[in-house]
Amino acid sequence: MSKIKIKSKNKEKCVIIISTFPSKNIIESKINDMIITKKICACISYFKIRSFYSWENKIENHDEMMVLFKTTKTNSEKLKKEIKTIHPYEVPEIIELVASDVENTYMKWMIESMK
Protein backbone atom coordinates (compact mmCIF):
# COMPACT_ATOMS: atom_id res chain seq x y z
CA MET A 1 0.00 0.00 0.00
CA SER A 2 1.41 3.38 -0.94
CA LYS A 3 1.65 6.21 1.53
CA ILE A 4 -0.09 9.45 0.60
CA LYS A 5 1.78 12.57 1.57
CA ILE A 6 -0.25 15.69 2.28
CA LYS A 7 1.57 18.94 1.61
CA SER A 8 1.06 21.68 4.14
CA LYS A 9 -0.76 24.72 2.80
CA ASN A 10 1.31 26.88 5.11
CA LYS A 11 4.36 28.44 3.44
CA GLU A 12 6.25 28.74 6.74
CA LYS A 13 9.22 26.39 7.22
CA CYS A 14 10.19 24.60 10.40
CA VAL A 15 13.77 25.26 11.49
CA ILE A 16 15.88 23.60 14.14
CA ILE A 17 18.83 25.57 15.44
CA ILE A 18 21.49 23.41 17.07
CA SER A 19 23.96 24.77 19.58
CA THR A 20 26.10 23.52 22.45
CA PHE A 21 26.46 25.20 25.84
CA PRO A 22 28.76 24.45 28.78
CA SER A 23 25.83 23.93 31.19
CA LYS A 24 22.06 23.78 31.40
CA ASN A 25 21.97 26.86 33.67
CA ILE A 26 22.40 29.32 30.80
CA ILE A 27 19.63 27.67 28.78
CA GLU A 28 17.20 27.29 31.68
CA SER A 29 17.66 30.93 32.66
CA LYS A 30 16.62 32.04 29.14
CA ILE A 31 13.78 29.62 28.31
CA ASN A 32 10.93 31.84 29.51
CA ASP A 33 12.38 34.89 27.73
CA MET A 34 12.88 33.08 24.40
CA ILE A 35 9.59 31.16 24.36
CA ILE A 36 7.08 33.36 26.23
CA THR A 37 8.41 36.93 26.16
CA LYS A 38 10.23 37.21 22.81
CA LYS A 39 8.35 34.33 21.11
CA ILE A 40 11.37 33.48 18.94
CA CYS A 41 11.10 29.73 19.41
CA ALA A 42 8.32 27.29 20.16
CA CYS A 43 10.34 24.67 22.02
CA ILE A 44 13.79 24.16 23.50
CA SER A 45 15.15 20.67 24.17
CA TYR A 46 18.55 19.84 25.59
CA PHE A 47 20.56 16.82 26.58
CA LYS A 48 24.02 16.08 27.92
CA ILE A 49 26.74 15.13 25.43
CA ARG A 50 30.50 14.67 25.38
CA SER A 51 32.32 16.84 22.82
CA PHE A 52 35.80 16.42 21.37
CA TYR A 53 37.11 19.24 19.19
CA SER A 54 40.23 21.08 18.19
CA TRP A 55 40.82 24.46 19.83
CA GLU A 56 44.08 26.42 19.63
CA ASN A 57 45.87 23.41 18.19
CA LYS A 58 44.92 20.93 20.92
CA ILE A 59 42.08 18.48 21.46
CA GLU A 60 39.41 19.61 23.91
CA ASN A 61 37.24 17.05 25.67
CA HIS A 62 34.22 18.39 27.60
CA ASP A 63 30.73 17.63 28.82
CA GLU A 64 28.31 20.01 27.17
CA MET A 65 24.60 20.47 26.65
CA MET A 66 23.34 19.95 23.08
CA VAL A 67 20.42 22.31 22.59
CA LEU A 68 17.73 22.05 19.92
CA PHE A 69 15.77 25.26 19.40
CA LYS A 70 12.60 24.65 17.34
CA THR A 71 11.44 27.72 15.47
CA THR A 72 10.27 28.95 12.07
CA LYS A 73 12.25 30.37 9.17
CA THR A 74 10.64 33.75 9.92
CA ASN A 75 12.17 33.76 13.43
CA SER A 76 15.47 31.99 12.75
CA GLU A 77 17.64 35.10 12.31
CA LYS A 78 16.27 36.68 15.52
CA LEU A 79 16.87 33.42 17.37
CA LYS A 80 20.44 33.05 16.09
CA LYS A 81 21.17 36.63 17.12
CA GLU A 82 19.79 35.90 20.60
CA ILE A 83 21.90 32.75 20.91
CA LYS A 84 25.02 34.76 20.01
CA THR A 85 24.08 37.33 22.66
CA ILE A 86 23.67 34.82 25.50
CA HIS A 87 26.42 32.40 24.46
CA PRO A 88 29.57 32.26 26.62
CA TYR A 89 31.83 30.71 23.95
CA GLU A 90 34.11 32.80 21.76
CA VAL A 91 32.96 30.74 18.76
CA PRO A 92 29.47 29.38 19.45
CA GLU A 93 28.11 26.47 17.48
CA ILE A 94 25.00 27.71 15.67
CA ILE A 95 23.71 25.38 12.97
CA GLU A 96 20.40 25.94 11.18
CA LEU A 97 18.57 22.93 9.77
CA VAL A 98 15.44 23.47 7.70
CA ALA A 99 13.01 20.59 8.10
CA SER A 100 11.59 19.33 4.84
CA ASP A 101 8.79 17.25 6.33
CA VAL A 102 6.93 18.38 9.45
CA GLU A 103 3.63 17.01 10.64
CA ASN A 104 0.93 19.63 9.91
CA THR A 105 -0.56 19.88 13.41
CA TYR A 106 2.90 20.29 14.95
CA MET A 107 3.75 23.03 12.44
CA LYS A 108 0.47 24.79 13.19
CA TRP A 109 1.19 24.58 16.93
CA MET A 110 4.68 26.04 16.41
CA ILE A 111 3.36 28.99 14.41
CA GLU A 112 0.55 29.68 16.88
CA SER A 113 2.85 29.55 19.90
CA MET A 114 5.11 32.25 18.48
CA LYS A 115 2.36 34.78 17.74
Give the model's pLDDT for residue 4: 43
- CA-to-CA distance for 74 and 15, rounded, in angstroms? 9
Q: What is the pLDDT of residues 28-64, one digit of tens each?
A: 999 999 999 999 999 999 999 999 999 999 999 999 9
Which residues are bridge partners to 70 per DSSP? Answer: 16, 43
At 5 the pLDDT is 46
Residue predicted with more confidence, 4 or 101: 101
Reported CATH class of domain 14-113: alpha beta
Q: Where are the domains of the chain?
A: 14-113
Pairing state between β 58-72 and 95-98? unpaired
User: How many CB atoms neighbour CB 1 within 10 A?
Assistant: 3
* Tens digits of residue pLDDT in 84-107: 999 999 999 999 999 989 999 999
Mean pLDDT (whole number) for 17-22: 97
Q: State pTM to two decimals.
A: 0.88
Chain length of the chain: 115
Give the Cα separation of 63 and 21 in Å (integer): 9
